[in-house]
Amino acid sequence: MSEVNVEIDSKVNEIFAKSKVTQKFINKNKEPIELKIYLDKNPKLVFLSFNAKIGDSIMVKSKIMKKEKAEIKYVDSISEGNAAIFVTEDPDNENKIIINMGNIPPNEEVLFISEYLYIIKSSFLYEFELFQNLPIFRWKNSDFKNTKLKGSAHIKTKNKINNINKIIGNEKLKIIEEKYINEEKK
């Protein structure tokens, strides 16, 4: 079964955190597949946009258009033998968005980059989550596992950080490097 490699880069300040999630997937099946990527709608986390690339094709940036027009373009592209991307809300779950990526050839790599904004609400307690609900890649009824997770969080503050509480929800994840630019922990 194919896996999804994940890299997360987060920039955090005292007002918001902006995260860029890069996921790479290779279609290891012998036939083209229609990949579905599920994104959670989270009130704390605002989904900003995505970029996607299939094989050597051009990078596609998300844009909004009327549903009917988008569906027609998607079907036309697939029927011509090309790969295509179409975004819709999940009819079974109003808290999910589905990104349909059709006609992904065998042994082709899919590069999916999504960006999120997390608003930090408290002026005395800054809470930031590196990422818990990653986009899920699915083909037919099987989920591909997000593996080889690599993440970084760059925290810049004007005020001193007095206490850092790190909770790692997965025993396989480890902090490999931690450093401060100055002694004031700003």
State in words which class domain 3-155 has.
Answer: mainly beta
Confidence of residue 111 (pLDDT cuts 50, 70, 90): very high
Distance of CA 81 to the CA centre of its chain: 27
Give residue 125's pLDDT. Answer: 63
Give residue 177's pLDDT. Answer: 78
Give residue 30's pLDDT. Answer: 92
CA nearest 50: which of 99, 118, 102? Answer: 99
- Give the separation between CA 119 and CA 19, rounded to whole angstroms: 11
Domain boundaries, the chain: 3-155
> How much is the average pLDDT of 43-59?
83
Confidence of residue 171 (pLDDT cuts 50, 70, 90): confident
